Each structure stands twice: as structure tokens, then as C-alpha cells.
């Protein structure tokens, strides 16, 4: 099973600042990585698929990069609604795993 490790566990920033979140895979997953946002009391929402493609309706301030084992989610200028928890996810050989999450707080 591929393990995804996210860092940092918690990131404290202010509105308008740039956020950089990391996800590292225990072995190469090419670009098969997704990023999700979860607000309290809500289901996760797909932000990025295949490492760098924004899902439908996702604002341009969200971007993803990386391949192999190291991936990054960047939020260029934080807005109030972006303070939430973010998860990375991979699918390998019909088994899906998630990272443990990064909590982005004000």
C-alpha cells in the first residue's frame, strides 16, 4: 500500500498570503494524485486531479504541481473560505489511499 505523508500538519497564515502544502508518496505514483478541500461539517471537495489539473469550478488561485513522489498544492492568495483541511489522494492498482491532512488555519 502506498503511504502519503502530508506536511505540515498545521499551517497558520493570514488572508492574502500564499500557502504551500506538501504531499510525499512512499513510492512513485507518476502524476496520479488528487487534492481535496474539506471544511468543517462538509464532505471533501475535489480541487486538483492528476497532480496539476483544476477540477470543474475551482478558482485559479489553486494550483498543483509535482510528479513521482513529491507534490505541492499552492494557494496563491488566501481568501477567508480557503481556511480548511486539505488532503491528498492516490489510486494505485485499484487501491486508494489518502494523506493525513494539512489543516490551514488563520
Partner 1 sequence: QVHLQQWGAGLLKPSETLSLTCGVYGSSFTDYYWSWIRQSPEKGLEWIGEISHTRNTSRSPSFKSRVTLSVDKSRRQFSLRLRSVTAADTGVFFCARVGGGGYEDAWGQGTLVTVS
Name the residues that contact partner 1, by CB under 8 A: 1, 32, 34, 36, 43-46, 49-50, 55-56, 87, 89, 91, 94-101
The CB-of-31 to partner 1 minimum distance in angstroms stands at 10
- CB closer to partner 1, 69 vs 97: 97
User: Residue 77 and residue 91: Cα distance in Å, rounded?
Assistant: 29
| 4 or 78: CB nearest partner 1 | 4
- DSSP readout, 29-82? -TT-EEEEEE-TTS--EEEEETTTEEPTT--TTEEEEEETTEEEEEESS--GGG
Taking the complex as a whole, the smallest distance from the CB of residue 78 to partner 1 amounts, in Å, to 23
Amino acid at each position: 500500500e502506498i503511504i502519503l505523508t502530508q506536511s505540515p500538519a498545521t499551517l497558520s497564515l493570514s488572508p492574502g498570503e500564499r500557502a504551500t502544502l506538501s504531499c510525499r508518496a512512499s513510492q512513485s505514483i507518476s502524476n496520479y494524485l488528487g487534492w481535496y478541500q474539506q471544511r468543517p461539517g462538509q464532505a471533501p471537495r475535489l480541487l486538483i486531479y492528476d497532480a496539476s489539473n483544476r477540477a470543474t469550478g475551482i478558482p485559479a488561485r489553486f494550483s498543483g504541481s509535482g510528479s513521482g513522489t513529491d507534490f505541492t498544492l499552492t494557494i496563491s492568495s488566501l481568501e477567508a473560505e480557503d481556511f480548511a483541511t486539505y488532503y491528498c489522494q492516490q489510486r494505485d492498482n485499484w487501491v486508494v489511499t489518502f494523506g493525513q491532512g494539512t489543516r490551514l488555519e488563520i
